[in-house]
Amino acid sequence: MTVRRTGLRFELLLFLLAAAFFALGYARPGGGPGPFEPGPRAAGVLRVLTWNVGQSDGSLAADDVMHVATVIRQLEPDLCFLQEVANTRQIQKLLRDLGPEWTHSSKRERGGSQLAVLARGGWLVSFHVPAARAVAHGVRLRTSNGRTVSAIGLHADTFSSRKRNEQIGSAVEFLSRRHPDTAKIVAGDLNLDLDLDKRRDLFSDDSYLDVETYNFVADRLVDTAQGRGSTAEPDRRLDYIFASPAHFEVVAAGPVAGQRRGAMDHDPVVADLRFR
Amino acid sequence: MILRLEMLKIQRSRRPHLAGVAILLFLGLMLLGFYTYATNEQGAADFRYTFENRSYFNGLTFALYAFYFGFLLILPIFAVTEGGAQVAGETAAGTLLLLLSRPLSRTRLFLSKLAMASSVTVALVVTLLLTAMGVGLLVVGWGDLDLYPGVLQMTDRHQHLPQGEAIGRFALAVPFACIALSVPLALSMFVGTWLRSPINTVGASMALYLVLYVISEIHFFAELRPWLFTSYMAYWRELFQEEIAWSSVWSDAARLLGFAFLFLALAFRRFRLREET
């Protein structure tokens, strides 16, 4: 009888320990940041946005152009990098809707759609990025308060990590060499699907190759939305805004959820950067 | 007395020796893989834009790679084998009935079996880590430990640990890794109280572990991850950050201990109440 009671007590102790440890472990919410919500743009901050506005099976749908303009107006960026805009008519439509203070520069990307850079205030001058001509669009921005930024909008290859390495690496190297002293931004859909930190992915068979590319860039520029979660379906982080740490302090950055419409498969990513 | 008997049984079973041989074989293959990779990378110059440099791969990097994969895929097999052999093994051999016919409470017997299985598991963790570090030192040579984003999913930014600090982190990883391995061990003890064959017990427990591990790795099941113990198996990776997020380490450890005690409680309940024939 005593033996049976001892056994029962021991069993209860084990259950109690399990309950206590579960309570301790699950009392604290799980890791990972909450959803990013950009606040009002602070004075002296350059707000940058990148968004692959295309659909999962093609470029930006004509019906969604006004939606893209609405989101841009709501998020109030100073500099926008758009990928997979279907044609120049869509860019003109966007600009008409956004207002006269916006300027733009665009180029045809591989596949026929447009890489567009839109800027509010100031002026833009485009430049070629020789080794990554088909996927990169360089611009030099003079902001309304007299600052100069050299930037490259990118839409790197979807399928080949080797091509991505060439495209992204050469663009970053070109920017560093050609504009050594100016503030630098590299933004766009880099298609680098990495599990940087404690995330998992059994889909990708070449993610280790993208590790090379990501770290090459991260060695030179700061990944502004690092640790803020995925930007595209399904649960992948493909869209990045990199900025030169010597010239910018990152105030806040991250993907803005809930802005996709129709068959869009990317979230816009926003970064608030303060000039040093 | 009973502990001495359990120790003798483990020695005679040769299970720890088998695990040791498997660990050596695994480390040998890892070393071969390391050299093949290094040779290919240097010879073919695959990537034009790379972050890697000659000082990146050293003995500590090797030890970390080996420990990471060995811990997740090799050690659970032996933890599960040890847990499965305890009750199911004795049941199949008919010695459990003999043991219980002596003036020995089931609680004490269960505790002694748990203590021995846990000791073997701890010994395996220490053996894997020390051997990996030893091989790393002798064959590759130590140095500072640099971790880059994407590599082993250990960090989202470049981490640099000087050699001395890195060795301290390896030592720190041992108790936390043992906590993680206690869950598959407890799971197999639980399964072992239901099945009468140790082979079936180990097979079923390992299958459960692998199914849960794969589920916790696939994006589709992201919502399930917090509730699967396999999601936390490699939580000790946090200890290799420059700044350790202790609150995250403690909460993951507490969750794992919760699972371990739950499986042990269920195992003991079954062991306590079942009729031996």
Over residues B76-106, the pLDDT tens digits come to 999 999 999 888 888 888 888 888 888 888 8
Tokens 């979660």 appear where? A229
Per CB-CB distance under 8 Å, the chain A contacts of B48 are 165-166, 169-170
Query: Rounded to an integer, what distance in angstroms lies between the CA atom of residue A251 and that of residue B35?
Result: 43
Q: Report how far Cα A23 is from the mean position of its chain's Cα atoms.
A: 36
Q: What is the mean pLDDT of the segment spanning B210-237?
A: 89
A95 is written with which tokens? 């600009």
Print burial letters for A192-204: b (CB count within 10 Å at least 16), e (below 16): bbbbbbbbbbeee
Per CB-CB distance under 8 Å, the chain A contacts of B47 are 162, 165, 209, 212-213
B126 is written with which tokens? 């220490």
Could you give the ipTM of this predicted complex? 0.89
Q: What is the mean pLDDT of the segment spanning A69-98?
A: 93
Per CB-CB distance under 8 Å, the chain B contacts of A19 are 258
Per CB-CB distance under 8 Å, the chain A contacts of B247 are 28
* Binary contact (B154, A6; C-beta < 8 A): no
Q: Checking DSSP bridges between strand A45-52 and strand A79-85, what pairing results, if any?
A: parallel
Question: What pLDDT does residue A227 have?
Answer: 84
Q: What is the mean pLDDT of the segment spanning A247-276?
A: 93
Question: What pLDDT does residue B113 have?
Answer: 92
Question: What pLDDT does residue A118 have?
Answer: 94
Percent of chain B past pLDDT 90, that is, above it, reads 56
Per CB-CB distance under 8 Å, the chain A contacts of B106 are 3, 7
Question: What pLDDT does residue B36 have?
Answer: 78
Tell me: the pLDDT tens digits for A37-62? 888 888 889 999 999 999 877 888 88
CB atoms within 10 A of CB B214: 13
Which range, of A3-7, B50-54, B73-77, B211-215, averages the lowest pLDDT?
Answer: B50-54
Query: Rounded to an integer, what distance in angstroms lies between the CA atom of residue B16 and that of residue B245?
Result: 34
Question: What pLDDT does residue B119 have?
Answer: 95
A28, A200, A216 ranked by CB distance to B51: nearest: A216
pTM for the complete prediction?
A: 0.79
Average pLDDT, chain A: 87
Question: What pLDDT does residue A178 have?
Answer: 86
* Binary contact (A208, B106; C-beta < 8 A): no
Element (H, E) at A148: strand A148-155
Q: Report how far Cα A155 is from the mean position of its chain's Cα atoms.
A: 11
Query: Rounded to an integer, what distance in angstroms lies between the CA atom of residue A161 and that of residue B185?
Result: 40
Q: Is the dihedral of CA A164, A169, A174, A179 positive or negative?
A: positive
Q: Which residue has the higher pLDDT, B4 or A148?
A: A148
* Binary contact (A235, B219; C-beta < 8 A): yes
Q: Which residue has the higher pLDDT, A235 or B164?
A: B164
Instruction: Please state, in angstroms and as integers, the Cα–Cα distance from residue A129 to each residue in A223, B27, B193, following that order.
Output: 21, 46, 67
Tell me: the pLDDT tens digits for A211-248? 888 988 998 999 999 888 889 987 788 999 999 999 99
Question: What pLDDT does residue B44 have?
Answer: 44
Residue B193 Rama label (left phi>0; alpha psi -120 to 50; beta): alpha
Question: What pLDDT does residue B49 have?
Answer: 66
* Binary contact (B50, A3; C-beta < 8 A): no
Q: Which residue has the higher pLDDT, B72 or B35?
A: B72
Please report, as a single letter, which amino acid is at residue B170.
Answer: F
Q: Which residue has the higher pLDDT, B276 or A276?
A: A276
Task: Answer whether residue A203 shows pLDDT above 50.
Answer: no
Task: Answer whether residue B13 shows pLDDT above 50.
Answer: yes
Q: Which of B48, B38, B152, B54 lies closest to A216, judged by CA?
A: B48
Query: Rounded to an integer, what distance in angstroms lies between the CA atom of residue B2 and that of residue B10?
Result: 12
The CATH topology of domain A32-275 is Deoxyribonuclease I; Chain A (3.60.10)
Cβ atoms of residues A89 and A62 within 8 Å:
no
* Binary contact (A202, B214; C-beta < 8 A): yes
Between residues 26 and 45 of chain A, which touch chain B (CB distance below 8 Å)?
26-28, 30-31
B232 is written with which tokens? 């936390």
Task: Answer whether residue A201 shows pLDDT above 60.
Answer: no
* Binary contact (B252, A25; C-beta < 8 A): yes
Q: Where are the domains of chain A?
A: 32-275
Per CB-CB distance under 8 Å, the chain B contacts of A165 are 47-49
* Binary contact (B252, A209; C-beta < 8 A): no
